[in-house]
């Protein structure tokens, strides 16, 4: 029997099945904590940029940059030359050249400016996109294709309606089109271009929604009844089979992993230090980095989530 394309995608990613919840949360170790002594901000999202970790601080209107090896503060991007108002989501699309220099762009969704800002890996503001189109851009994810940057941006249009935009940047020129709308409050987003999929966290309905990248059509939902708080941060982890990692924003936060087997879900938490109302996440080859509400970033080994 031929399985329809949309149904095949849902089965592949494990969402066309009854979720089997584990009996309890599994504690995971924290490898390292990134924190600036005496610094009080409102960390939201983060992304690895070479040997650095860039963290958006929407409270101070800044980007806090840590060295991933030493775990120490490297520098803070703040002030008029950077133009931040309320930086929220971040997507780093960079590659390392032969001589070690980073090439590419870091894109930041700024809710205050209602624009997406593009930076070089050295921290130079290059361009801004979406003025007059966005209302409150929050989350951003992206990929590169044939030298062109493709960004998926969530934009809160009103109290109960969010939009998903596709921003294409070629050189410094940007082309923007709206893919569709989501009934509810939206922020976190992830994209899987090889599967023609976008995942959006619906904070109002406490679930993840699957949207077809090429058409904007909603294909299905994931996590209904699993999230007890607002879903925050989304990452797709392909190693050992597709897994989707998301955060459950509770006072004592949870890390939720869907997959790799269809219909399975695992719950994780930290004990010391405690993960407090987690907001954003990102992954590298070996680590999961999670923003904790108390102006900290926790580093957790990905192997602990198997």
Residue pLDDT, tens place only, 166-214: 999 999 899 999 999 999 999 999 999 999 999 999 999 999 999 999 9
Across the chain, what does the average pLDDT equal?
Answer: 91
Q: Confidence class of residue 22 from pLDDT cuts 50, 70 and 90?
A: low
Structure-token pair, residue 256: 């939720």
Q: What CATH number does the domain containing 48 carry?
A: 2.120.10.30
Torsion sign across C-alpha atoms 239, 151, 11, 184: positive
Q: Quick count: other Cβ atoms within 10 Å of Cβ 2?
A: 5
Residue numbers of the domain that contains 66: 5-305
Sheet architecture: strand order including 173-183: 137-145, 148-158, 161-170, 173-183
Q: Determine the pLDDT at residue 21.
A: 58
All residues at 6 or more sequence positions from 196 whose CB lies less than 8 Å from its CB, including other chains? 9, 212, 213, 214
Asked whether the predicted pLDDT for residue 3 surpasses 80, the reply is no
Torsion sign across C-alpha atoms 63, 68, 69, 72: positive
Structure-token pair, residue 236: 């797709």
Asked whether the predicted pLDDT for residue 61 surpasses 80, the reply is yes
From residue 229, alpha-carbon distances to 192, 226, 255 in Å are: 25, 9, 12
Q: How many domains does the chain have?
A: 1
Contact indicator for 229, 248 with CB cutoff of 8 Å:
yes
């Amino acid at each position: 029997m031929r399985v329809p394309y949309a149904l095949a995608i849902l089965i592949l990613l494990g969402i066309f099945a009854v979720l089997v919840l584990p009996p309890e949360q599994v504690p995971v170790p924290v490898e390292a904590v990134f924190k600036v002594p005496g610094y009080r901000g409102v960390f939201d999202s983060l992304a690895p940029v070479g040997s650095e970790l860039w963290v958006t601080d929407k409270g101070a209107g800044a980007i806090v940059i840590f060295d991933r090896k030493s775990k120490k503060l490297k520098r803070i991007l703040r002030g008029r030359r950077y133009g931040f108002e309320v930086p929220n989501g971040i997507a780093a699309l960079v590659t390392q050249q032969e001589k070690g220099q980073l090439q590419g762009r870091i894109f930041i969704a700024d809710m205050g400016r209602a624009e997406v800002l593009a930076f070089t890996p050295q921290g130079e503001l290059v361009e801004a996109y979406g003025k007059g189109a966005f209302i409150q851009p929050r989350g951003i994810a992206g990929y590169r294709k044939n030298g062109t940057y493709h960004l998926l941006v969530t934009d809160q249009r009103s109290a109960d309606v969010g939009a998903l935009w596709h921003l294409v940047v070629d050189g410094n020129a940007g082309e923007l089109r709206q893919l569709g709308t989501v009934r509810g409050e939206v922020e976190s987003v992830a994209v899987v271009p090889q599967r023609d999929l976008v995942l959006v966290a619906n904070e109002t309905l406490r679930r993840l929604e699957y949207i077809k990248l090429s058409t904007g059509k909603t294909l299905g939902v994931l996590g209904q009844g699993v999230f007890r708080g607002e879903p925050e941060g989304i990452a797709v982890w392909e190693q050992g089979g597709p897994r989707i990692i998301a955060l459950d924003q509770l006072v004592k936060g949870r890390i939720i992993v869907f997959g790799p087997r269809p219909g399975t879900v695992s719950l994780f938490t930290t004990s010391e230090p405690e993960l407090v109302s987690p907001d954003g996440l990102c992954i590298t080859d070996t680590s999961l980095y999670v923003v904790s509400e108390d102006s900290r970033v926790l580093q957790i080994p990905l192997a602990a989530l198997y």
